[in-house]
């Protein structure tokens, strides 16, 4: 079944990838198809003042991911003047905005909190939380899947990784949701200066971790904060600020992405009833179905890099300091790599999507996310859970994280 897509603006030069309405309205899918065909390495002049290259073909995106010495991460993953900047204070401190060689050492410090053993514990925890959330949905005949069920995935992950309780986990999810939704009026007051708003939101997250840090100093545990307290990077302990940044990286990296992917995945299943039925009848297809949901949703739509050394590709010269965006969403629909990429197909194989990124910074939380998503949809198959859309879907106002903030469903 094909999916209705809003037409793209005519002429690739008219496409502005900073235009959140393009994404919220669904026009981005066609816009990217046009860019891949007409202007695969596109110079985007955003209405918000940002200027950047947009790579939209799979091979170009992969090329940039692999050339991490040319395309650095130290200016943060998000473009748009206001989120991170030239003076980004997270550079060299937070994993995702750190280049080699320090990136390797930081990753070693964080990795023990993201192993397959941890992923198993997360799955067990999430299973317990889903027992309650799904039982309530069944009893009530439906729910807002986005708020009532999907958020239990990151809640279970945070409980295991950070060693916190259920209530604190949801409090932290609320804080990171506001950070990621910093342009969405349902999460924040969108008036005033964006940079100040973000600084304030970040301070709230740091404050949350400051309390945990004090507690772990007194009583160390097996959690990420305790691990980072004991870790040495380049022969010295991490500062408190470095610990906060990396806890925030894990929380922001994991909270919205996995729950939004679950929502977009369920939405796709409801849009494709024959594939929903196949998943219920053939639970062994959950693995390929989850991969397809990851590709389809491309929840982390792009990442940013900044050119460190002059380089050339496709007749375009990238100059040091240029901002370059790698569009996972578009690469994941590139017909050269994904035949019928515009179709949702839970049996798709191979499926080498870039939803977790690639290369040096490829998502460190992928085993955890896989465990959460597989568990959820295995549960659907085991219990024959059939949901149908029961109201208006609301999308997050963002071009960076593509998410569904309200997904009313009823049990059928």
The C-alpha atoms of residue 250 and residue 257 are separated, in whole angstroms, by 11
Query: Among residues 368 and 404, whose Cβ is nearest to ligand HEM?
Result: 368
Question: Shortest distance, CB of residue 332 to ligand HEM, whole angstroms?
Answer: 11
- Closest chain position to ligand HEM (CB): 365
Write down how long the chain is.
412
Q: Which of 141, 408, 372 shows the shortest CA–CA distance to 257?
A: 372
Work out the burial of residue 369: count CB atoms within 10 Å of its CB; fewer than 13 is exposed, 13-18 middle, 19 or more buried: buried
Residues 6+ away with beta carbon under 8 Å from 47: 16, 18, 19
Q: How far is the CB of 365 from ligand HEM (least distance, A)?
A: 2
Q: What are phi and psi of 329, to 5 degrees?
A: -55, -45
Task: For residue 258, give both structure tokens.
Answer: 């996995």
Shortest reach from residue 52's CB to ligand HEM, in Å: 14
CB of 237 to ligand HEM, least distance (A): 20
**Minimum separation from the CB atom of position 281 to ligand HEM (A):** 25
Cβ atoms 330, 22 nearer than 8 A: no
Do 276 and 377 contact (CB within 8 A), yes or no?
no
**Is there a contact between 60 and 29 (Cβ–Cβ < 8 Å)?**
no
200 vs 356, which CB is nearer to ligand HEM?
356
Q: Give the span between the Cα atoms of 60 and 359, in whole angstroms.
A: 13
Q: How far is the CB of 290 from ligand HEM (least distance, A)?
A: 9
Question: Given the complex with ligand HEM, which of 299 and 311 has the nearer CB atom?
Answer: 299
In the complex with ligand HEM, the residue whose CB is nearer, 8 or 363, is: 363
Tokens 């965006």 correspond to: 325
Which one, 8 or 78, has the nearer CB to ligand HEM?
A: 78
The distance of closest approach from Cβ of residue 2 to ligand HEM in the complex, given in angstroms and rounded to an integer, is 24
Which residues are at the interface with ligand HEM (CB under 6 A)?
73, 77, 95-96, 107, 157, 161, 249-250, 253-254, 257-258, 261, 299-300, 303, 328, 355-357, 361, 363-365, 368-369
Residue 121 C-beta: closest distance to ligand HEM, Å? 12
Among residues 41 and 157, whose Cβ is nearest to ligand HEM? 157
* Distance (Å, whole) CA 267 – CA 299: 13
Q: Least distance in Å: CB of 126 to ligand HEM?
A: 11
| Side-chain-facing half-sphere of 197: CA atoms under 13 Å | 18
Q: CA–CA separation, 361 vs 95, rounded Å?
A: 8
Question: Taking a C-beta distance cutoff of 8 angstroms, is the pair 347, 285 a contact?
Answer: yes
Q: What sign has the CA pseudo-torsion 109, 75, 352, 122?
A: positive
When the beta carbons of 50 and 259 are compared against ligand HEM, the nearer one is: 259
Nearer to ligand HEM, 188 or 263 (CB): 263
State CA 7 to chain mean position distance.
Answer: 25
Nearer Cβ to ligand HEM (249/285): 249
Task: Give 190 or 351: the residue with its C-beta nearer to ligand HEM.
Answer: 351
* Shortest spacing between CB 122 and ligand HEM, in angstroms: 8
Indicate the angle between helix axes 240-271 and 102-110, nearest 10 degrees.
70
Q: Contact at 8 Å (CB) between 409 and 387?
A: yes
């Amino acid at each position: 079944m094909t999916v209705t897509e809003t037409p793209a603006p005519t002429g690739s030069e008219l496409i502005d990838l900073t235009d959140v309405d393009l994404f919220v309205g669904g026009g981005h899918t066609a816009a990217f198809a046009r860019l891949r065909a007409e202007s695969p390495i596109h110079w985007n002049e955003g209405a918000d003042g940002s200027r950047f290259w947009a790579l939209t073909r799979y091979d170009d995106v992969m090329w940039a991911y692999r050339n991490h010495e040319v395309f650095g991460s130290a200016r943060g993953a998000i473009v748009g003047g206001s989120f991170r900047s030239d003076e980004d204070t997270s550079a060299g401190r937070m994993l995702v905005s750190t280049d080699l060689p320090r990136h390797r050492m930081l990753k070693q410090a964080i990795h023990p909190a993201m192993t397959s053993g941890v992923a198993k514990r997360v799955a067990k925890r999430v299973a317990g939380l889903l027992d309650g959330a799904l039982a309530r949905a069944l009893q009530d005949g439906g729910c807002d899947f986005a708020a009532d069920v999907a958020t239990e995935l990151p809640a279970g992950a945070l409980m295991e990784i950070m060693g916190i309780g259920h209530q604190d986990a949801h409090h932290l999810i609320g804080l990171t949701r506001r950070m990621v939704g910093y342009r969405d009026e349902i999460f924040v007051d969108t008036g005033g200066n964006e940079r100040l708003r973000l600084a304030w939101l970040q301070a709230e997250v740091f404050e949350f971790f400051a309390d945990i840090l004090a507690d772990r100093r007194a009583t160390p545990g097996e959690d990420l904060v305790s691990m980072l307290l004991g870790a040495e990077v380049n022969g010295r302990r991490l500062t408190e600020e470095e610990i906060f940044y990396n806890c925030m990286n894990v929380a922001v990296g994991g909270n919205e992405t996995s729950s939004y992917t679950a929502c977009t995945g369920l939405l796709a299943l409801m849009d494709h009833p024959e594939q929903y039925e196949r998943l219920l009848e053939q639970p062994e297809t959950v693995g390929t179905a989850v991969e397809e949901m990851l590709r389809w949703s491309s929840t982390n739509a792009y990442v940013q890099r900044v050119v460190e050394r002059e380089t050339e590709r496709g007749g375009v010269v990238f100059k040091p300091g240029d901002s370059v965006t790698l569009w996972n969403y578009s690469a994941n629909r590139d017909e050269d790599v994904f035949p019928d990429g515009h179709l949702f197909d839970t049996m798709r194989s191979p499926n080498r999507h870039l939803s977790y990124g690639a290369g040096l910074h490829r998502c460190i939380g992928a085993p955890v996310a896989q465990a959460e998503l597989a568990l959820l949809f295995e549960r659907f198959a085991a219990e024959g859970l059939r949901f149908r859309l029961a109201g208006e879907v609301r999308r997050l106002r963002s071009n960076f994280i593509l998410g569904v903030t309200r997904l009313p469903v009823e049990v059928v």
